[in-house]
Structure 1
Amino acid sequence: MEKCLIKSETLKEKMLNEKHGSKRKYKEDYNRFNLICSQKQVFQKTVEVVWYSYFFQYLSHFVAIHTIEGFTVVNNAEVDIILKLLCFLHDPVNVGNLIYSSSGKSSLYLCLERDQYQRMQAMIYAIEEINKNPDLLPNITLGYQIFDTCTVLRRAMEGTLWMLSGRKEIIPNYRCEPTVTFAGIVGDSGSTRSIQMAHILGLYRYPQISYFLTSPTLSNRKIFPSFFRTIPSDVFQSRGLANLILYFGWSWVGFLANDNDYGQLSLQVIKQELINAGACVAFIETIMTGQANRNAPHIVKVIKESTAKVVVVLSSNPDLLPVVEELARQNVTDRIWIASEAWSTSNILSKEKYQHVLVGTLGFAVRGGQLPGFAQYIYSLHPSKAPNNSFIIELWEEIFSCKWTNNLSSDDRTSNTTAHDCTGEETLGKSKLKVDFGITFNVYTAVYAFAWALESLLHCQPGKGPFHNGCANILSFDPWQVCYLHFSQS
């Protein structure tokens, strides 16, 4: 309560010192803080994160917000504990994302990522499976909330603060979900986004489990005390890729790497391994993730002019796609591509129109696991079973090149204006959709990691528990207690 009063006094001083135009905003914030303080809804943690909200709250939105809330029971009040997933389901800066009309205006086309959609479904599948299991978290019902970051850093930060606040209005240091206990976050998949998320979540010790983030930076437990992952660090992959290149005796190699943590940190490791072994670097080019074309024309020019026939690519499939498009347009072939795990099994890059460019690619893939019944679960999905779920409708329209006539907003998402109407008789089982058992298994494992931590919390015995003050209440626990149980012991 004392911290809250200090913060409200600070806001009051700012309100008095600001010009008239800014007074109104600070006055509203001041009144809101006092109201929350009077109701004793104080989130007793550091107030450092409060200024994140001012930074993001007044930036203009340039992408649509996609959220989905789902529960395994009809009555939301019956959900006891909620897990939240941050992932990118849409890529707003994909190839063809800016569609220019004759008037010179542009519109944003959001492309649904099939791989990411399956990862979202893996979380839902795991939660439903846990809720049906009488031996795991008995009498406890898990729910979920899924937030689409659209590969945008600001969206990931905003989504993190929303999930901490429990509502779309960002109120740092306060939670507005009195009936549901928030256990932690699964995600994100991007290095830069997840690192920033980990800084915020680490302030409150909220556990964060990433299913795809391989940056070695996050292995530092002192800086990121509540971050965990179900995938190995990039250090191991980089050494493996170097050994793969040396095994085939390739000594003249070019590099393409994203301009983010994932690309640059991996590049440092693999480049040093090759140099130490006597190999030479022909060129190093950066895929500019902040540019719509990812600097593709320049990159392709360098590749064509270089005598190096082996090119190592440390990138994700959305960022590499513009480069591959340009390579295909200029018919650049006869290269050996070495793929990192982020794009080696990409459905998008496996399309026939890219095969003449990428044929013969070598790389590492994420090791898959057993998900009994998951393929049948994916193939059983149908828009009629979830009429309010826009994601399944988008997936349907994309796979079958049709328009769902009952969906009023389909025109805004479908780039094919000549698409026929969906009949509803299509089935995913007869489509070309391939079920992924790699990254989806990591998502599945992350959900079960939370479940087993909560199970340990549920069966804690007074006097025998790990906490000095006894056992925690399974329906009202502190986030650090979930971090400690199972995660730190593992």
Structure 2
Amino acid sequence: HFPLLANLRFYISRGHGSSRAVKPVCRLRGTPALPQFSKDGDIIIGGIFSFHDNVITAKNIINFKEYQFAQTMIFAIEQINNRSDILPGVSLGYKIYDDCSSVTLAIRAGMALMNGYDEVMSDNPCNKPPTVAIIGHSGSSLSIGVATVISSFRISLVSYYATCICLSNRNEFPTFFRTIPSDNFQSRALAQLVKHFGWTWIGAVRSDNAYGNSGMATFLQAVQEEGVCIEYSEAIYRTYPREKLLKTVEIIKHSTSRVIIAFTTFIDLEFLIKELLLQNVTGLQWLGSEGWIATESLATEQYYRILNGAIGFAISNAVIPDLKEFLLSVRPSSSVNNIGLNEFWEDIFSCSINKATKEKIQCTGFENLNNVNNHYTDATELRITNNVYKAMYAIAYSLHNGITCESGQEASEQMACFSKLKVNFTTKSGERVYFDENGDPAARYEILNWQLSNNGGARFVTVGIYDTSLPDGKQFLMNNSAIVWTGGQNKLLRSVCSESCIPGTRKAVQKGKPACCFDCILCAEGEISNVTDSIDCIKCPLEYNANDKRDRCILKTIEFLSYGEIMGVVLVVCSLLGAFTTISIAAIFFLHRDTPIVRANNSELSFLLLFSLALCFLCSLTFIGQPSDWSCMLRHTAFGITFVLCISCVLGKTIVVLMAFRATLPGSNIMKWFGPTQQRFSVCTFTMIQVLICALWLLTSPPFPNKNMNSFKDKIILECDLGLPAAFYAVLGYIGLLSVLCFVLSFLARKLPDNFNEAKFITFSMLIFCAVWITFIPAYISSPGKYTVAVEIFAILASSFGLLFCIFAPKCYVILLKPEKNTKKHLMGKMPSKSL
């Protein structure tokens, strides 16, 4: 809706343009600004265009495209005046000014339109039809200047090319409207496009004006939210000194990013491209805003060397019926209402309107525009031109709705009616035109790709669309296969500061650089990353370990001493061999139980000792195989009890030897104190103490199977946890105590006669036993995994073999090989003793 419509109420009520004689009460101060094109009418529509690109060299630089925009506005007004369904009985006039791309001149033109006075019309500005709306400008900075001035007078400014986000602020610019989408849509769409192509390291160039600064600020915010980093952000402007442009070129040359987002006007970019051409800076992928991406003047063979493969957003092209014929039908005139066309005509045909000069012939006025090929006559690219056309029709529909709403209502109702007016119509081409609450239209862009044309320049190929009216997730429609990238490549150019970190590694940001610049660090042992560009590594569960690539957790190898492996087989064979040997010796002793050597060595304790040694050999089998609740409890208790039984028998035999020696002394009766009954009792007593220790151990905190995951990172040790370590140490300590006692007693009896050699053999056996278990302690502690169990089994077997062979081998030797010595006379014979 247009706020100024309410001000038309009094003018329209007088008959839609009927004049009344009024006493002049207004006077113009200062020199009036003359319009380039003008026509009287009941209602005046203002227009401000940049016919010249620079106020200083206005006579030399003519913007033919802006002339096309102005003529399109006139064309639309003529169409509307000839229609009966829009503003019947009301004629639209126009005043079109040139701002020469200057904010100052743009504001001056806006002020002139507000005054409503010019030298051509009546001398009384108060009696002239009002300017209800202005069409302009081609730049955001120009639009900001004019919109700020005219908003206080409730005059609407409808822009066809000003895209700055700031102009959507209704508090600052309540009367501003536009038929081109706000850069808010384009900036965020550009960020999505960068993300779509996987670029994470880009450079940025912007025009140093409201359009470039505001649009780039929104783009940078949006693109950084997508995880993209900006290597540099440079501002350029057409009036900058060359040294400043050269500095920007140097930054681009030495950058590592391969993609440049250019949020600029085509004029500013052209200055930069010229410098890049001089230094042959090519091979970069340009991503452009609508300010230049569809500009024909840049699509030359020369500029294509730099901009080939460029991609960007452009306003959708359109077809305006009969416009080209109208553009070609214009003619210069001597009327001051049409002075803007005279310079245009002179420049195109290199002639002079007034009279011939030495340099130029006189224009006839009938030169043929059909033979002219420039931006004015080109009706194939009407992207922005169509916005001018829509702007004019939006104003006309709003006026029409306002007049219809006003008729036959009271003044208060009329004001309320005008304040609610909205524009919503459909063009002949089927395009719907409306404004949202911020005065912005719906955003719909074509995605253009610069591809090589037949003349060596660029042709604009549509490779996709972006439409905000579509549902989320479907606003982008892309045809990636149709894109030609910079250098004529069909393969997407990569632009990253650091290559992606593969699974198994994590990103480590390089010091002093943006987040997109990082090193890829291999995950630590036991940790993985299973996605690309992982920030952190994930620790594997305790039962799992990382594979070599660190991208997957694999179940750790479960290790225990099994029967199937070589070491287990060897230990089983040794255990069974020891048990078989023990049983064989027991059989020999049983068969020769009546011989003196068996009887003299206390056959009862000997058989009990052989029985306990057989159990010692067999108990080592409980240490082999996968630990279970029963095997863990059995292996330690069986080991403790059988070894105590074994040492108790040896201790009993040692005491018997000592007692027997003392009994041979005159008057000694000591053997009655340590007879068979006492021997059995001592063995049972010593053994029962160990049984009690083991019972308490099992009742309080018994051993149990445990998965040891801490000793090794790559495997799980399946072992028996001691439960209560103090109980285990008590079992070992008790065995050690009995062993030391036995060793001491046997050592004291070492000087007994040689033919009565039991004490000497016991001493050797206990010496081996103690040596084995003393060396067992450090070996047990330092052995890893299943080797801990192997060391324990080895200690059991070694000490058992030591006892077996040291005590029983000599006797078996006599029994089997020296039977002549197996006599009572030989055993009781007196022979000199030998010391150890």
TM-score when scaled to structure 2? 0.43
1:41 & 1:182 partners in 2: Cα distance?
16
Deviation at 1:108, TM superposition (A): 6.0
Give the equivalent residue in structure 2 for 1:486: 422
**Structure 1 residues 321 and 481, CA gap change in structure 2 (3 angstroms):** farther
Give the equivalent residue in structure 2 for 1:69: 37
Does 1:347 pair with 2:292?
A: no
Give the equivalent residue in structure 1 for 2:113: 163
Give the letter aligned to residue 105 of structure 2. Answer: R
Give the equivalent residue in structure 1 for 2:90: 140
2:178 & 2:104 partners in 1: Cα distance?
22
Q: 2:193 aligns with which of 236, 244, 267?
A: 244
Does 1:83 pair with 2:39?
A: no
Does 1:428 pair with 2:370?
A: yes
Identical amino acids, percent of aligned pairs: 32
Deviation at 1:376, TM superposition (A): 2.3
Give the equivalent residue in structure 1 for 2:210: 261
Give the letter aligned to residue 320 of structure 1. Answer: L
Deviation at 1:268, TM superposition (A): 1.4
Give the letter aligned to residue 434 of structure 1. Answer: D
SS of alignment partner, residue 334 of structure 1: coil
Give the letter aligned to residue 412 of structure 2. Answer: N
Deviation at 1:450, TM superposition (A): 1.2
**Structure 1 residues 313 and 300, CA gap change in structure 2 (3 angstroms):** same
**Structure 1 residues 309 and 237, CA gap change in structure 2 (3 angstroms):** same
Give the equivalent residue in structure 1 for 2:232: 283
User: How does 1:217-232 map onto structure 2 within 5 Å?
Assistant: 217-232=166-181
Per-residue CA distance 1:377-420 (angstroms, 9 max, x = gap): 22333447989745445445555xx4113355999xxxxx7x88
Give the letter aligned to residue 259 of structure 1. Answer: D
Give the equivalent residue in structure 1 for 2:622: none
Does 1:316 pair with 2:261?
A: no
1:209 & 1:177 partners in 2: Cα distance?
24
Per-residue CA distance 1:435-458 (angstroms, 9 max, x = gap): 232111111111111111111222
Give the letter aligned to residue 188 of structure 2. Answer: R
**Structure 1 residues 41 and 380, CA gap change in structure 2 (3 angstroms):** closer
Residues 37 and 337 of structure 2 are in contact (CA less than 8 Å); yes or no, is this contact kept in structure 1?
no
Give the letter aligned to residue 223 of structure 2. Answer: L
User: How does 1:386-401 map onto structure 2 within 5 Å?
Assistant: 389-396=338-345, 398=347
| The structure with more radius of gyration | 2
Residues 288 and 294 of structure 1 are in contact (CA less than 8 Å); yes or no, is this contact kept in structure 2?
no
**Structure 1 residues 314 and 461, CA gap change in structure 2 (3 angstroms):** closer
SS of alignment partner, residue 137 of structure 1: coil
**Structure 1 residues 223 and 487, CA gap change in structure 2 (3 angstroms):** farther
**Structure 1 residues 236 and 91, CA gap change in structure 2 (3 angstroms):** same
Per-residue CA distance 1:300-357 (angstroms, 9 max, x = gap): 2221121222111111112222112222222222111111111111122123332212
1:182 & 1:395 partners in 2: Cα distance?
26
SS of alignment partner, residue 306 of structure 2: helix
Give the letter aligned to residue 67 of structure 1. Answer: P
Give the equivalent residue in structure 1 for 2:641: none
SS of alignment partner, residue 112 of structure 1: coil
2:418 & 2:105 partners in 1: Cα distance?
26
1:92 & 1:294 partners in 2: Cα distance?
20
Flag structure 2 segments of 5+ consecutive residues without an equivalent. 1-22, 425-433, 436-836
**Structure 1 residues 292 and 378, CA gap change in structure 2 (3 angstroms):** farther
Does 1:274 pair with 2:217?
A: no
SS of alignment partner, residue 365 of structure 1: strand
Residues 300 and 327 of structure 1 are in contact (CA less than 8 Å); yes or no, is this contact kept in structure 2?
yes
Residues 261 and 288 of structure 2 are in contact (CA less than 8 Å); yes or no, is this contact kept in structure 1?
yes
2:341 & 2:252 partners in 1: Cα distance?
39
SS of alignment partner, residue 295 of structure 2: coil
SS of alignment partner, residue 144 of structure 1: strand
Residues 337 and 360 of structure 1 are in contact (CA less than 8 Å); yes or no, is this contact kept in structure 2?
yes
Q: 1:453 aligns with which of 394, 398, 416?
A: 398
Give the equivalent residue in structure 2 for 1:190: 139
SS of alignment partner, residue 38 of structure 2: strand
**Structure 1 residues 295 and 166, CA gap change in structure 2 (3 angstroms):** farther
Give the equivalent residue in structure 2 for 1:127: 77
Deviation at 1:91, TM superposition (A): 0.6
Give the equivalent residue in structure 2 for 1:357: 306
Give the letter aligned to residue 136 of structure 2. Answer: G
1:315 & 1:239 partners in 2: Cα distance?
16
**Structure 1 residues 397 and 244, CA gap change in structure 2 (3 angstroms):** farther
Give the letter aligned to residue 341 of structure 1. Answer: E
Deviation at 1:431, TM superposition (A): 2.3
SS of alignment partner, residue 91 of structure 1: coil
Give the equivalent residue in structure 2 for 1:181: 130
Deviation at 1:269, TM superposition (A): 1.5
Deviation at 1:285, TM superposition (A): 0.6
Number of residues of Structure 1 aligned to a counterpart in Structure 2: 396
Q: 1:469 aligns with which of 412, 422, 430?
A: 412
Residues 293 and 322 of structure 1 are in contact (CA less than 8 Å); yes or no, is this contact kept in structure 2?
no
Does 1:405 pair with 2:352?
A: yes
Give the letter aligned to residue 106 of structure 2. Answer: A
Deviation at 1:142, TM superposition (A): 0.5
Give the letter aligned to residue 388 of structure 2. Answer: V
Does 1:214 pair with 2:163?
A: yes
Deviation at 1:434, TM superposition (A): 2.1
2:245 & 2:59 partners in 1: Cα distance?
20
1:409 & 1:260 partners in 2: Cα distance?
42
Residues 188 and 194 of structure 1 are in contact (CA less than 8 Å); yes or no, is this contact kept in structure 2?
yes
Give the equivalent residue in structure 2 for 1:202: 151
Deviation at 1:132, TM superposition (A): 0.7
Does 1:372 pair with 2:321?
A: yes
Give the letter aligned to residue 351 of structure 1. Answer: T
SS of alignment partner, residue 323 of structure 1: helix
1:427 & 1:269 partners in 2: Cα distance?
43
2:397 & 2:382 partners in 1: Cα distance?
21
Give the letter aligned to residue 486 of structure 1. Answer: K
Give the letter aligned to residue 194 of structure 2. Answer: I
Residues 203 and 257 of structure 2 are in contact (CA less than 8 Å); yes or no, is this contact kept in structure 1?
yes
Residues 162 and 180 of structure 2 are in contact (CA less than 8 Å); yes or no, is this contact kept in structure 1?
yes
Residues 183 and 482 of structure 1 are in contact (CA less than 8 Å); yes or no, is this contact kept in structure 2?
no
Give the letter aligned to residue 158 of structure 1. Answer: R
Residues 35 and 337 of structure 2 are in contact (CA less than 8 Å); yes or no, is this contact kept in structure 1?
no
Per-residue CA distance 1:150-180 (angstroms, 9 max, x = gap): 11111111111111112369xxxxx925132
Residues 403 and 421 of structure 1 are in contact (CA less than 8 Å); yes or no, is this contact kept in structure 2?
no
SS of alignment partner, residue 412 of structure 2: coil
Deviation at 1:367, TM superposition (A): 1.9
Give the letter aligned to residue 74 of structure 2. Answer: I
Give the letter aligned to residue 404 of structure 1. Answer: C
Per-residue CA distance 1:113-149 (angstroms, 9 max, x = gap): 1221111111001000001112211111101111111
2:38 & 2:148 partners in 1: Cα distance?
27
**Structure 1 residues 281 and 314, CA gap change in structure 2 (3 angstroms):** same
Deviation at 1:460, TM superposition (A): 2.8
Deviation at 1:249, TM superposition (A): 1.6
SS of alignment partner, residue 83 of structure 1: strand
Residues 186 and 210 of structure 1 are in contact (CA less than 8 Å); yes or no, is this contact kept in structure 2?
yes
